[in-house]
Chain A
Amino acid sequence: MSDAAAAERNIDTSKMQISDEIAIQISAMNKWYGSFHVLRDINMTVNRGERIVICGPSGSGKSTLIRCINRLEEHQAGQIIVDGTELSGDLKNIDKVRSEVGMVFQHFNLFPHLTILENCTLAPIWVRKVPKREAEETAMHFLEKVKIPEQADKYPGQLSGGQQQRVAIARSLCMKPRIMLFDEPTSALDPEMIKEVLDTMISLAEEGMTMLCVTHEMGFAQAVANRVVFMDQGQIVEQNEPKEFFNNPKSERTKLFLSQILGH
């Protein structure tokens, strides 16, 4: 278990405040892949400033769930409202939501033909119409924040996995999103690199960012999350604050899952 990230640093909770404002509202949402019912009756409300960790066995639909929030996947029934905008077939709404919601992928998905700096400035310039110089300043600011400003002129292929993932986080931040989604951000990384990415995510949490993370890093969940959501077979089985969730799980399925991942 990597509790390292949590243990080694004192987390500054002063700005980690949860407001009453609703950031994401998912109600009675269902999704099918063909005839396979991947997400079943999902109801979930995320307030601004919340840090939610979603965990569960593979195939439980946790990635699909957060991919629905910026419509990389389409849901077939129910409602998803992000920042007051309902996700439907309307392309304008989708683009609006996507420019407000940052996403970090398991495999980084940096653009290999562009330099690190260009990766970070592309969307601000072309979507937000920010002047190039301003976009570059913002990009350098966030690259400094993820601690790799010196790599700005390199290409993604020249960076290590951990560095690439930090660039991917910086790239999302350059769009000044109000919500960040993380889809197993550390699963493709070597153990040595997991910490640097988690540190970046923790500092983001400290600034009060609304975050939804699909991750198996339980140390991160305990240190940062204010809520842990456990999913199995496309349903939300249990959700609770981390302390209760880990020490006193209610459902049998959760207990089994926790014993398997914490047991070694």
Chain B
Amino acid sequence: MSDTHSNTVSYVRDSMLPQQEPPLKDRGAVKWLRENLFSGWLNTVLTLLSILTVWFIIIEIGPWLMNTVWNAGSLRECREILDGTSGACFAVIKDRWHQLMFGFYPPEYYWRPVLAFVLMLVAVAPILFAELPRKMLYFSALFPFVGYHLLWGGSIWLPVAVLLGFVAGYIAFRLLDRMSSLISTLGAVAATLAWWFLLAGPFNAAMTSVLPIGLEFVRSDAFGGFLVSVVIGVSGIALSLPLGILLALGRRSEMIFVKSVCVVFIEFIRGVPLITLLFTASLLLNYFLPPGTSFDLILRVIIMVTLFATAYMAEVIRGGLAALPKGQYEAADALGLDYWKAQRLIIMPQALKISIPGIVNTFIGLFKDTTLVVFIGLLDPIGLSNAIRADTNWNGIYWELFIFIGALFFIFCFSMSRYSQYLERKLKTDHR
């Protein structure tokens, strides 16, 4: 068609060309193979080398994994069953399953952490998936209190008293809503703190003496295994995101005092190793507290891990904020939105979306860092693996325990990563 006119200067196309399929070598599996595996001699060599490596790993580890002993009471028994052949001894996981999951939590109450875990999934679901009914968020808001009570037990009035603090804050916020948003926010914070420090204690004591209901109290020492990792990890994740947002906003604030406080906090926390903060939590914090207060160790660790993650989170979110074009702030201003509304409705949804990879990165890092608590004597899975090896029955077993622990951590972290990719796809609004 085109050669008809190729030599003439004046040219009018009389018919538009229909769309055609690409040639065979440029579509389907052939194209994929050519582009991804054999696009040049170097890539062909690398592909073959990779295949060899994978093959080698399977050949080496496969038989060991396939030949697993699942039922044995000790490493010696395992070896007798294997009778000299190479094989894994995952019997240790079966033997110590409960310990790896719950540590030394009283066996008769195992249902409590299990129930708490299931409820946690229910509470997290509406936050992760916008399709679910929004009413479920009420349960999500209640879950921290329910979860706390299920895990630690004690008088039910303690979590209720703490919860009422938030209710007090909300009422104050509503009452002051007519004023500027700054006044109502300050009022809400003041009301919450006033309730906690002045009234919550007497309220708790009074209600407990009148109506002593609640689950059996379980001390933090009894917590162990993945229970510890999940409690610290999930609390840290849930707290570090909102705090990180506030800190990032603070660092970008034009109010010099707010800004300095945030900068100093972020730089200090980022400049100190987490393990130092954890030792501070376990050893030093008690010196600063009034004598006689026993401040739960897990709670202290959660605070430290949260502070640590918050500093990183703030910087990640600040990156997202900096990436937003100035026009977005101006458009929000020009429409008359005040600072907090603009942040909440315009700026944060976009900044957080940009920051998703970094945020999830921080979450994953935080979750894996929970294994550091082994150094301050908490029996997380790594700590338990040492304890299990200290038993003569399982003395000398390494691979199976670490593979199991690693696999479980991998499942948690990989799900977070997959979820973040799902979210990025879902929030992509520039497709045509």
Decide if B335 touches A113 in the complex (CB within 8 Å).
Answer: no
- Of A102-110, A131-139, A143-151, A215-223, the segment with at least 4 beta carbons within 8 Å of chain B is A102-110
Residues of B contacting A111 with CB < 8 Å?
328, 331, 346, 350
Residues 324-346 of chain B, each 1 if its beta carbon lies under 8 Å from chain A, else 0: 01011011011111100100011
CA distance A76 to B327 in the complex (A): 23
Tell me the nearest residue of chain A to B335, going by C-beta.
A123
CA distance A109 to B346 in the complex (A): 11
- How many residue pairs link A and B with beta carbons under 8 A? The number is 74
Among B334, B338, B345, the residue within 8 A (CB) of A103 is: B334
Decide if B429 touches A155 in the complex (CB within 8 Å).
Answer: yes
- Does B406 lie at the interface of the complex (its beta carbon under 8 Å from any beta carbon of A)? no
- Does B353 lie at the interface of the complex (its beta carbon under 8 Å from any beta carbon of A)? yes
CA distance A112 to B331 in the complex (A): 12
Residues of B contacting A102 with CB < 8 Å?
334
- Does B432 lie at the interface of the complex (its beta carbon under 8 Å from any beta carbon of A)? yes
Tell me the nearest residue of chain A to B328, going by C-beta.
A109
Interface residues of A in 150-199 (CB under 8 A from B): 155-158, 171-172, 175
Nearest Cβ on chain B to A14's Cβ, whole angstroms = 30
- Report which residue of A91, A101, A112 has the largest number of chain B beta carbons within 10 angstroms of its beta carbon: A112
Decide if B353 touches A113 in the complex (CB within 8 Å).
Answer: yes
Nearest Cβ on chain A to B337's Cβ, whole angstroms = 6
Among B180, B327, B353, the residue within 8 A (CB) of A109 is: B327
Decide if A126 touches B353 in the complex (CB within 8 Å).
Answer: no
CA distance A129 to B346 in the complex (A): 17
- Does A30 lie at the interface of the complex (its beta carbon under 8 Å from any beta carbon of B)? no
Interface residues of B in 314-364 (CB under 8 A from A): 325, 327-328, 330-331, 333-338, 341, 345-346, 349-350, 353
- Does B83 lie at the interface of the complex (its beta carbon under 8 Å from any beta carbon of A)? no
- Does A95 lie at the interface of the complex (its beta carbon under 8 Å from any beta carbon of B)? yes
- Does A72 lie at the interface of the complex (its beta carbon under 8 Å from any beta carbon of B)? yes
Decide if B328 touches A98 in the complex (CB within 8 Å).
Answer: no
Q: How many residues of A contact B (CB 8 A)?
A: 28
Decide if B336 touches A109 in the complex (CB within 8 Å).
Answer: no
Tell me the nearest residue of chain A to B327, going by C-beta.
A109
Nearest Cβ on chain B to A90's Cβ, whole angstroms = 12
- Does B430 lie at the interface of the complex (its beta carbon under 8 Å from any beta carbon of A)? yes
- Does A122 lie at the interface of the complex (its beta carbon under 8 Å from any beta carbon of B)? yes
Among A112, A123, A155, A156, the residue within 8 A (CB) of B337 is: A123
Interface residues of B in 154-186 (CB under 8 A from A): 180
Decide if A113 touches B427 in the complex (CB within 8 Å).
Answer: yes
- Does B431 lie at the interface of the complex (its beta carbon under 8 Å from any beta carbon of A)? yes
Among A95, A101, A112, the residue within 8 A (CB) of B430 is: A112
CA distance A123 to B333 in the complex (A): 10
Among A70, A122, A155, the residue within 8 A (CB) of B345 is: A122
Nearest Cβ on chain B to A155's Cβ, whole angstroms = 4
Among B327, B341, B430, the residue within 8 A (CB) of A155 is: B430
Name the 4 nearest CB pairs between A and B, nearest first.
Answer: A157-B430, A99-B336, A109-B331, A109-B327
A interface list, Cβ under 8 A from B: 70, 72, 91, 95, 98-99, 101-103, 105, 107-113, 122-123, 126-127, 155-158, 171-172, 175
- Further pairs besides A123-B337, A126-B345, A172-B334: 6, Cβ < 8 Å: A72-B330, A91-B180, A109-B328, A113-B353, A155-B430, A175-B336
Sampled A-B contacts (16; CB under 8 Å): A70-B333, A95-B336, A98-B333, A98-B334, A99-B336, A109-B328, A111-B328, A111-B346, A112-B350, A122-B335, A122-B346, A127-B335, A127-B336, A157-B430, A157-B432, A158-B429
